Amino acid sequence: MKIFRTEEYIRFINPTPGEAHRPEILKAADGAKDMGGMFGLLVPGSQVPYHYHKIRESVLIIISGEGVEVIEGKEFAVKAGDILFIPAGEKHAIINRSEQDLRYLEFFTRPPVGADFVEVK
């Protein structure tokens, strides 16, 4: 078992000031066979590129700040406390247009082989 304490990620000091920071927080070494996880810290003005995953499904838990989730070209405001489910194949991006950091935890299914991140231009 691994416990993720949101307050630790809310207080986390960005080791790359002024840049987004997205480390993996749930790995095979933790005993996770079919899942992965990451901590997302988007500084003001940053974003994750518009993309989709062929197989991966994700759950994002917004733990602090606010931003915009773009889903299939439509924008949705997101804020601390919101939980998003993103199915495989759905084009999406998360954008921080605010003046504060946007922080989230993301848990996802792992594809059977390799990465399946497909950027949409």
What is the amino acid identity at position 73?
G
Contact call for residues 120 and 101 (beta carbons, < 8 A): no
Element (H, E) at 10: helix 6-11
* Domains held by the chain: number: 1
Residue 1 located in a structural domain: no
Helix ranges (DSSP H) in the chain: 6-11
Per-residue pLDDT tens for 6-23? 999 999 999 999 999 999
Residue 69 located in a structural domain: yes
Residue 37 located in a structural domain: yes
- Residue 15: domain span: 6-119
Contact call for residues 80 and 66 (beta carbons, < 8 A): yes
Residue 111 located in a structural domain: yes
Per-residue pLDDT tens for 108-119? 998 776 678 889
Residue 98 located in a structural domain: yes
CATH of the domain at 49: 2.60.120.10
Model confidence, pTM:
0.93
- pLDDT given for residue 32 in this prediction: 95
